[in-house]
Amino acid sequence: MAKVALITGGMGGIGTSICKALADAGYTVVTTYSKPGKEVEWLASGKEAGYSFHAYQCDVTDFDECVALAGRITADVGPVDVLVNNAGITRDASFKKLDKVNWDAVIKTNLDSVFNVTKQFVDGMTERGWGRVINISSINGQKGQFGQTNYSAAKAGMHGFTMALAQEVARKGVTVNTISPGYIATDMVMAVPEDVRNKIIAGIPVNRLGKPEEIAALVAYMASDLAGFMTGANVAINGGQHTC
């Protein structure tokens, strides 16, 4: 029976590539979405490409909705073996202009969701003696970024969570790791004015944006049996832009 992989926020550029990579690796793939509408087209597009994904509406900032989500997935698809915490938003502003609403929105979506969703599945992983939790952070959680105190704090917090939980579940066959992508050629980044995008690329030693498929390939490795000796790690994949 195929293992089940859950990717939160899996309908974006990186998320879709992760869903495809894990499906290609033999997993039954489940994702979440926050607002109804997009999932119909996304599921249809995946089906045309040969993928049979499962999608559930869930506000990952709401603990009770995550409890309900876990019950639905388990009943419909089976227990979750691989969890990729990928849901995230930005609400950029300099700290002087940042208000409490946008601070809370980013912390809840990018960090609280990691607790809310992981809490539903990690005990089952430890009981079965195998599991993978993969947290998608950011280069800006490592080095910080002007105008992103909220986002940088949340993404740095994700790796703190990774390091602590990894120690708690390592003896039970469950690994917990972080991936910190740099600038990736998603639709959002490609929509940035060309001159701004060129300035970003000029600061990347490999002189290009990353590809969503490159992040997805790393996720697929971390989800595999071959990654059983890797836990508590934060793997930077940013074209050499930040090396610490």
* pLDDT tens column, 196-218: 899 999 999 999 999 999 999 99
CA angle 237, 4, 183 (to 5 degrees): 20
pLDDT at 111 over 80: yes
Mean pLDDT of the chain: 96
Burial 166-184 (b: 16+ CB within 10 A, else e): beebeeeebbbbbbbbbbb
69: enclosing H helix or E strand? helix 63-76
Closest CA to 137 of 153, 119, 122, 124: 153
b/e burial code for range 30-65 (CB count within 10 A of at least 16 → b): bbbbbeeeebeebbeebeeeeeebebbebbbbebeb
Q: Where are the domains of the chain?
A: 4-231
- State the fold for domain 4-231: Rossmann fold (3.40.50)
pLDDT, one tens digit per residue, over 164-191 is: 999 999 999 999 999 999 999 988 788 8
Q: Does the model's pTM come out above 0.75?
A: yes
Residue numbers annotated as active site: 151
In this prediction, residues 14-38 reach a mean pLDDT of 95
